[in-house]
Structure 1
Amino acid sequence: MSRHPPHPEHSGEAITIMKVDPILDAGVVVTSSAQEVSGKLADRCSAYFDNISPPLKWTGVPDVKAWAVVVEDPDAPREQPFVHWMIWNIQGELRSLPEGLPNSDFLVTPQGGVQGRNDMGGFGWFGPRPPAGHGVHRYYFQVFALDEPIDMDPETSLAELQKALKAHTLAKGEMMATYEAPKPQ
C-alpha cells in the first residue's frame, strides 16, 4: 500500500516575482474582489467554470509608465510554474483591470495592453484547473510597475518577459489566491 504525500508536488522553479529586484523599496498592494475571504478565487474565474479573468486593483508608485501582470501556479506537477496570464503595457495611470478581459493578443481596453500566451497555448487568461485530487494550488498575481513600456510582441516567452521586467521594474507586489478542483457531485 503506497502512501501519497498530503500536498501536491511543487515545481522546482521560482515564480517571476522572486527573480525581479525592483529599483524602489516601495511595494505594490494587489487585491481582487474575485478573491473570497478564505483566499479562494471565485469559481467563475476557474477553467472548470466560466474561465473569466478576475478584476484586479493595485496601489500606485511614482513615475510609473506602464504595468505588467504575471499569474503563475508553482504547485503544478511539472518542472516550471504554470503560467496562467501574462499582460504588459497597461497604461501607467491605471490602477486596475476589469473582470473578463478578452483572450486576445492586443487589447482595446486597456489601450496598448499586450497579452502573451498562457501555458495552454492561448492568449490572455487561463483560469485555475488543478488536477482532481491534487489538493489546493496557489495562484500568484504578480504586478510590476515599470519605468517604460515593454516593446515585445504577444509571442514573447515568460523568460524574455522576465528579462525586461528585471531591467524596468520600479516596484512590485503580489496577491496569492487558492483554488482546488471541485469535488465530484
Structure 2
Amino acid sequence: MNGNNPYARLPEVPSFTLTSTTVVDGKPLPAPQMSGLFGVPGGQDASPQLTWSGAPAGTKSYAVTVYDPDAPTGSGFWHWAVANIPADIATLPEGAGDDTGTGLPAGAVQLPGDARAARYIGGAPPAGHGPHRYFITVHALDVEDLGVAADATPALLGFTMASHILGRATLVATAETPAG
C-alpha cells in the first residue's frame, strides 16, 4: 500500500468527528459495503451508515465522498459522491446511496462515480493487487448548493468544493482480494 493521501495537497482544514455503525476506521470494509455488482461474494453495494458532529461554525452543507487512491487506474477510483446535503443533517443510514437515493435527504445530489452509476459502488480490489484504502469523507462546506450538475464527475465536485471546504472528517477502511 502506498502513502498516497488524496487530501495531502489540499489546504489543511479543521477536522471534525465521523463515526459509523458499519465501518471501523483502519479495519476492512464489511461484506455489505463490498461490491456485488463487481462480483464480490456477499457484496451488497450498501453505502455505510455515517454520523458526524462538531463541524465548523458557518457550515451550510455537506458533501460525502468515498475514494480508493490505490485502484490500478493512475487516477484512483471514486465509489460514491453526494453533494448538497443540508447543514441540519448529521447522519445517513446504511444503504442511503442505492440506485434511487431514497435514503438521502431532500436536495442532495448523488453523482455518477467511476463506474458511471449515480449510487454507491462497494469495494472490489482486483485479486492479488494488494490492500486498498477507502477514504470515506464528509466535507463541511460554506455554501448551501455547490451548483454541480447531477451528471458531474466526483473530480469536478472536488474541484468545485475545494475553495468552500471549512472542515473534513474521514474514516479509512481497507479491502484486499487474495490472488486466486
Q: In the alignment, which residue of structure 2 is the partner of 1:121?
A: 116
Instruction: Report if aligned partners of 2:136, 2:172 keep a CA contact under 8 Å in 1.
Output: yes
Q: In the alignment, which residue of structure 2 is the partner of 1:145?
A: 140
In structure 2, what is the Cα distance between the partners aligned to 1:112 and 1:55?
A: 19
The one-letter code matched in structure 2 to 1:21 is P
Q: Which of 163, 168, 177 does residue 167 from structure 1 map onto?
A: 163
The one-letter code matched in structure 2 to 1:60 is G
Deviations 1:61-104 (A, max 9, x none): 21211000111111111110100000011110111111102434
In structure 1, what is the Cα distance between the partners aligned to 2:111 and 2:9?
A: 19
**Equivalent residue runs for 1:2-81 within 5 Å:** 15=6, 17-21=7-11, 25-36=13-24, 39-47=27-35, 48=40, 49-61=43-55, 62-81=57-76
Q: In the alignment, which residue of structure 1 is the partner of 2:85?
A: 90
Cα deviation, residue 177, structure 1: 0.4
CA gap 1:44/1:69 in 2 versus in 1, 3 angstroms: same
In structure 2, what is the Cα distance between the partners aligned to 1:51 and 1:159?
A: 21
Deviations 1:31-54 (A, max 9, x none): 211124761111111002111111
User: What is the DSSP-based 3-state SS (H/G/I as helix, E as strand, rest coil) of the residue aligned with 1:176?
Assistant: strand
Deviations 1:130-165 (A, max 9, x none): 111222211001211011121111211233212221
In structure 2, what is the Cα distance between the partners aligned to 1:114 and 1:106?
A: 9
Instruction: Give the CA RMSD over aligned residues.
Output: 2.5
CA gap 1:140/1:102 in 2 versus in 1, 3 angstroms: closer
Compute the TM-score of the two structures, normalised by the length of structure 2: 0.84
In structure 2, what is the Cα distance between the partners aligned to 1:139 and 1:78?
A: 15
Percent of aligned positions that are identical: 31
Can you give the 5+ residue segments of structure 1 that lack an aligned partner in the other structure?
A: 1-6
Can you give the 5+ residue segments of structure 2 that lack an aligned partner in the other structure?
A: none
Aligned residues: 172
Compute the TM-score of the two structures, normalised by the length of structure 1: 0.82
